[in-house]
Chains A and B, each alone.
Chain A
Amino acid sequence: MHANAHEVGKSMAELSLTVNGEDHTVDVDPAKPLADVLRDELGLPGTKQSCSTGICGACTVRIDGEARKSCLHMAGAVEDADIRTVEDLVDGETNELHPVQEAFLEEFSFQCGFCTPGFLNSTLSLLDENPNPTEEEIKDALHGNICRCTGYVAILEGVKAAAEKYDPETEVEAAGD
């Protein structure tokens, strides 16, 4: 929940970050949480924070394919990683929603929407690894994300529907252009 228009008395460094397939150079304190860098420096407000202590999962992004809490990762420690945020899900060329997004929309898997980017990233990370998860595997993958509105039932349905719609193989090919 922090942002710093003007860092005082902190060591700044030039960092190279690869976010959503694009290389960026930012001049920040390398200890600044990735979540803040995404929001403040790179103009990607889709990543939310709700606790800033790694419990709630609202800030979950994908780092090298794994669901990771971006409030716990210092920007300086993810320089060589492939970082993906919710903004990466919509197909940049066709503007079409990702199958996981379509599934969440159809199953009403969110209410206020503040935790949703985190759930989407946790879901996608799961399905990329395990395209046909069991209910228990889904729960394990979403255990680090809190939703205060829905009661999770619709989220579970959303992930199941996403597993039906999403084929990681074809998506990887599509993304490889």
Chain B
Amino acid sequence: MSGAHQATEDEEFTTVGESIERADGVEKITGTAEFTYDVEFPNMLWTSFVKSPYAHARIEDIDTSAAEELDGVHAVLTQADFPDERFGDGLLDQTCLADEKALFEGHYVAVVAAESRRLADEATQLVDVEYDQLEPVVDGEEAFKTDPPEVIHPDLFEYETSDVLPPTLVEDRPNVYQNYTVGKGDVGEGFEEADHIYEDTYRTAPIQHAPMEPHMAVARPEGDGELTIWTSCQAVHKIQHTTAAILNKPARKVRAIEPYVGGGFGGKESPLLEPIAGRLADVTGRPVKVVHSREEEFKNATISGEVKTEVKTGVTDDGDIVAREVSALLPGGGYASTGFMVARNCTFGIANSYDIPHIDVDTYGVYTNTPVSGSFRGFGNRQVLFGLESQIDKIARDLGMDPIEFRKRNLLEEGDITAFNERRQHVSADVCLETLEEEFTAEKDDADDPWVTGVGSALVNKYSLAPTASSATVKVHPDGSVELRYSSDEIGQGSTTAMSQIVAQEFDVDVEDVEIVRADTDVTPFDQGSISSRSTFNMGNAVRMACDDAKEELFEQAADVLEIPPEELETSRGRVYPEGDPDHGIEIEDVFTKAIYESGYFLQEGGEIIGKDTWHVEAGDPEEGKVGRVNSFYSEGAAGVKARVNTRTGEVELAETVGVFDVGKAINPKLVEEQITGAFSMGIGAALYEKMEYDPETGRTINANYSDYKIPSIHEHPMDIKPIYLEESHPEGPYGAKGIGEAPTVAIIPAIATAIRDAVGTYPSELPMLPENVYSLANKEQP
């Protein structure tokens, strides 16, 4: 079941709010949808990488001569063949290939472009690399020390940083690339006021996005130093802009085109293979395709590193949280990537739900000799809220209170100021929790030995990033169809469908009459990317505003023909007419003039009927003593789980899963439900199955494949999932809508953990909750 909680604006909806079929549907079920995987050109070269067998090693010498001599090999590049400047997502520490050192096992040391993939593979065997092994720093806590075994980036303090939200370094901790703190009150005082103090440590595991289409890029030289790059990414403008910068080209010389993307989940927002493909295309003068194998995807694409969260909470006998101290350590791998931002933004989930007078949050992102950690669905909130919400459940039960009631009692309310100096607005956590209480009525019950059951719940509050911007362009055609040019990445979430619906709604036409031009930086205007659950809210607004602009232009043109002022006109079904009087109108075609030779239509003035606009949110780091905007919006919700646990095997089954999430307005209800279910799925994997395993001595990733890294299949996956969306209209959202892509992934993990606790009596403190771990919890002596 799902349904609207309340009516949104006083609007008449035609297409918005309907579960119309996916706009990309027919292409995707007939095998004709084009992915970067399918982009090929005559004369195209294939590539293969030389990879470091060591997690940390100085590269003494690279001899590429034998590989270069192989017939059919066109280029063998090392970092020396790339411009010197480093790049990054805010901390510029990264190079395309390993520079002086290999920083993790599998790190690219050289790349070969050849006539075939097989030949390129063969040539990599002929590249001779001399390494001087260094001690790999695999453990985040070792890396964090003031005297770590090795300093991973000796030049860290010289690296450039972005002006927008730069990271904070720590002088006496040489591997820390970000330290972020938020707080208010005086926690010492707070803990003195507390009747009970709880201290716990929680750990999540490193996991990989594992999109079905791994990273890939195709670059084609266009002459004069220009490149066209096809990329499987989720932030096409960022990829274009950064790739040009990395290759020392003016941005206009790189055109990035994004076909359909076979999954993103946060893993494809930073440049990786694009500049390598681009440089190879420049050097060889031929189109070049760079693709990741599954193993390379695990090791060289970003992952989500393990996080250790220590949390101390003080409460009164009455059940008021008076103090909370949270410290999180986020081992980040060989480069900071978006990891420095993960360390910052996980604090918002920590400090944005509950009214705690004294709170201190301190997070650290730290280099390790493991795969690079960056953005991943939930962006830090998943990692920290596993522990925080588990502990909330523990405190409530310890005080003899219902965990949902305990949460409701301690919520920040409308207008309250958070620890990061932002005013809580449009709060819906209370409504989400109340609806969960109504809809999730599962109870712990008797199961046949050796099975036991338990129920659990959790609250989530996932921010969406700011500052941020989306732009859109809308063109009205003589036949009354409307073309939308926009750069949201279609990574499967359905933005193409939702945006088509918005255009159809605004022009009152069928979605079939909306033409979509997607993600091509020569044609489609700026967008921040399909990240941070942001597209519906931000791009939805931009599309609506661009439609308004286009209609204004259309009415100007039609006013001359109809001799009626433009502000008195409206459009529907390809016609323009005086408000409320469709019979006295004209076809959109009539504002155009027919050209000779049946060669088309033109406007006598103005060129084209084009509308364009930008939606942006201004925000910044919270300032001491000053209330300001930090994020775009918050995606709030709650999850409830009834779990069955086999006390003899440690197996966990989710008998019932309910999610209640506020989406403001469901542009396409079925797609919203699919986001909830799909995001739950990713959380279930992280909760119960997935973990990248590193050899603690060598730092090698030992399960970089689908056999040893367990992604839930249909057999492991629960089928009793009830996605419920609420429509608490957000005043800034398009028709009141906001995003939903990440929050369910965050919420379900502590809901599962607390359900397991309810079943077996002991709280899981580590992910994933593998059968062996759950077995231990179930068979532990009860204190």
Contacts and interface: CB of A to CB of B under 8 A. Distances in A.
B628 interface: no
A172 interface: no
B174 interface: no
A115 B681 CA distance: 16
B262 A105 contact: no
B7 interface: no
A139 B213 contact: no
Given A46-B32, A117-B31, A58 B212 contact: yes
A156 interface: yes
A90 B212 contact: no
Interface range on chain B: under 10, 10 to 19, 20 to 34, or 35 or more? 35 or more
Nearest to B212: A114
A142 B293 contact: no
Interface stretch (B35-43, B130-138, B417-425, B774-782): B35-43
A165 interface: no
Given A4-B117, A112-B263, A143-B713, A53 B33 contact: no
A25 interface: no
B670 interface: yes
Contact of A151 (B22, B32, B33, B681): B681
Contact of B31 (A85, A104, A150): A85
A173 B1 CA distance: 40
A111 B31 contact: no
Interface string A138-177: 0110111111111111111000000000000000000000
A17 interface: no
A80 interface: no
A145 B714 CA distance: 8
B261 interface: yes
A4 to B, nearest CB: 4
Contacts of A7: 116, 118
Interface string A1-33: 111111110100000000000000000000000
Contact of A3 (B26, B40, B213): B40
Give the one of A10, A120, A152 with max B CB within 10 A. Answer: A152
Nearest to A115: B212
A5 B713 contact: no
B494 interface: yes
A119 B265 CA distance: 21
Contacts of A64: none
A53 B295 CA distance: 11
A156 B719 CA distance: 8
B299 to A, nearest CB: 14
Given A51-B294, A55-B707, A110 B681 contact: no
B633 interface: no
B115 A113 contact: no
B652 to A, nearest CB: 16
Contacts of B210: 148
Looking at B27, B37, B44, B711, the one whose CB has the most chain A CB atoms below 10 A away is B37
Interface string A44-71: 1111101111011010000000000000
A6 B677 CA distance: 44
Nearest to B122: A8
Nearest to B744: A151
Given A86-B31, A150-B681, A142 B671 contact: no
A139 B263 CA distance: 23
Contact of A46 (B21, B31, B263, B719): B31
Interface string B92-123: 00000000000000000000000111110010
Specify which of B31, B263, B671, B707 lies most central, judged by the most chain A CB atoms within 10 Å of its CB: B31
Contact of A113 (B492, B680, B684): B492
A87 interface: yes
A34 interface: no
Given A8-B119, A8-B122, A143-B714, A148 B212 contact: yes
A52 to B, nearest CB: 7
Nearest to B116: A4
Nearest to B211: A148
A87 B293 CA distance: 25
A175 B25 CA distance: 24
Contacts of B261: 112
Residue among B27, B33, B34, B38 having the largest count of chain A Cβ atoms under 10 Å: B33
Contact of B29 (A97, A153, A155): A97
A108 B742 CA distance: 19
Nearest to B675: A111
A129 interface: no
B678 interface: yes
B26 A148 contact: no
Contact of A2 (B118, B212, B494): B118
Contact of A52 (B38, B213, B294, B711): B294
A146 B212 contact: yes
B719 A153 contact: yes
Given A3-B46, A139-B715, A150 B677 contact: yes
B329 interface: no
Contact of A148 (B31, B119, B265): B265
A105 B21 CA distance: 7
A58 B294 CA distance: 13
A125 interface: no
Interface string B326-362: 0000000000000000000000000000000000000
Most buried by B among A111, A116, A147: A111
Contact of B713 (A1, A6, A146, A149): A146
A89 interface: yes
B291 interface: yes
13 contacts: A4-B119, A46-B32, A53-B705, A85-B31, A89-B29, A101-B29, A105-B29, A108-B671, A111-B494, A112-B492, A149-B492, A152-B717, A153-B717
Interface of A: 1-8, 10, 44-48, 50-53, 55-56, 58, 85-87, 89-90, 97, 101, 104-106, 108, 110-117, 120, 135, 139-140, 142-156
Given A143-B714, A154-B674, 19 more contacts: A3-B117, A5-B116, A6-B115, A8-B122, A48-B212, A50-B294, A56-B212, A56-B706, A86-B29, A89-B29, A105-B21, A111-B493, A114-B35, A114-B212, A114-B213, A116-B28, A147-B212, A151-B721, A153-B721
Q: Which 4 pairs, one residue from A and one from B, show the smallest C-beta to C-beta distance?
A: A46-B31, A112-B492, A151-B681, A113-B28
